[in-house]
Structure 1
Amino acid sequence: MDQACSTLGEGMLTAERLTAANINPRTGLATDYLNHFNEVVMLLEMLPDMPECAEDVLEWQPLSYEAHFEASNFAEKHLAIEAFRAAPVPVRRALRDVVATLDTAVCEKQGRLRSAEDVRLIAEQVAHETVEEVRPLIASASAIIHGEAIPDGTEDTEAQDAIDALFA
């Protein structure tokens, strides 16, 4: 599908089709993307009881929204990518900003694990910081995806018109 022709609420991006695919029709985003972060968070939280999880944590790599879906088994991955590209610019920007902070937080923890002489000595602290720092960032990303935290800048008329068209 030609990106220039894609508009939320029209063509292949109707609210009904997006909803059926577990993509928010208002934002054009899918919560499946958060699985990428939830998996590494789970591993980080398990470190105190299972320090061998550090190996799996170190294998984790940041993935953009589009790269996540390109590599996923999500049934409607092409629709998810197309909807993301049609999402209002302020929504995409807000998600990318939160994801950049998430990536940085996880990579910082990876760096600490790599440099630790003994993972067991820092596991409790890393797990605690994950709960305190990373989980709230995932919640922020979720709020953006669900349209509960529409970012500033939605007064951009083109983006607002796209949102309004969905509810007309």
Structure 2
Amino acid sequence: MMTVSAIKALVDEGDARADTSKVPRLSTDFLNRYSEALMLIELAADDDGVVDDLRAWRSVTYREHFEGSPLRCTPSALAAYDRLAPACRAGFEDLCRAMSRLVETATALLAERRVGLEPATIVEVASDALRRQISRAAQFINANGTVEIGNVESRVLQAEIDALLAR
């Protein structure tokens, strides 16, 4: 995993080669959607009513998020997204789908309340995995899509989800 300073070095290197006022930038505002889901998952261990809020949570794509957004950064965020190399965009979209599946799986498990599967365990596993995935997505966005997002940790995440479901 890249450190913040390594990402900053990559961004600074890219910025040195371009006029940053003219270079469209990706925006982390999109990740607020997943941060909200994370907060709800963490609250669900102590409050059964939060599960209804989690059921109402919906995943949207990066493009959908900004197409419906009044933020000033919207044109830049969409332009930067359009400029991503297809493989980079696909890796980011795969990561977003993995985060959405995690939220949906945690929601289903918290709603089901299976005997032997404590809500605290679900919350612990799901929140840790989601926090790591949000961090990876933030690194990608902060580097303006110039870092390799990779799929290795996504497979690890899916294995964690599968193990949780097997309990």
Of the structure 1 ranges 70-79 and 47-56, higher mean CA displacement relative to structure 2 is found in 70-79
How big is the alpha-carbon RMSD for the aligned residues of Structure 1 and Structure 2? 2.9
Is residue 33 of structure 1 aligned with residue 30 of structure 2? Answer: yes
Query: 1 CA distance for matches of 2:146 and 2:100?
Result: 20
Q: How does 1:1-168 map to 2 (within 5 A)?
A: 15-17=20-22, 23=25, 29-116=26-113, 122-147=118-143, 150-151=147-148
Determine if contact 1:33/1:68 at 8 Å carries over to the other structure. yes
- Going from structure 1 to structure 2, the CA distance change for 1:130 and 1:72 (only over 3 Å counts) comes to farther
Per-residue CA deviations over 1:97-154 (Å, capped at 9, x if unaligned) read: 2111111111111222333379xx743122211222111111111111122871189x
Cα deviation digits, residues 19-41 of structure 1 (max 9, x gap) = 7xxx3xxxxx2111111100010
C-alpha change, 1:122 and 1:58, in structure 2 (3 Å) is farther
CA contact (8 A) 1:90 1:152 kept: no
Could you tell me whether the CA contact under 8 Å between 1:70 and 1:77 is conserved in 2? yes
Contact 1:69 1:81 in 2 (8 A): yes
Structure 2 unaligned runs (5+)?
1-14, 151-167
Q: Which amino acid aligns with 2:129?
A: E
2:113–2:119 contact (8 Å) kept in structure 1: no
Relative distance call for 1:152 and 1:98 in structure 2 (3 A) is: closer
TM-score of the aligned structures, taking structure 2 as reference length = 0.67
Cα distance in structure 2, aligned partners of 1:149 and 1:83: 11
In the alignment of these two chains, the number of paired residues is: 132
Distance 1:33 1:54, change over 3 A: same
Q: Residues 39-98 of structure 1, C-alpha deviation per residue, up to 9 Å, x if partnerless?
A: 010111111233211111110111110011122332222331222111232321221121
- Identity within the alignment, %: 22
Show the counterpart of 1:6.
Answer: none
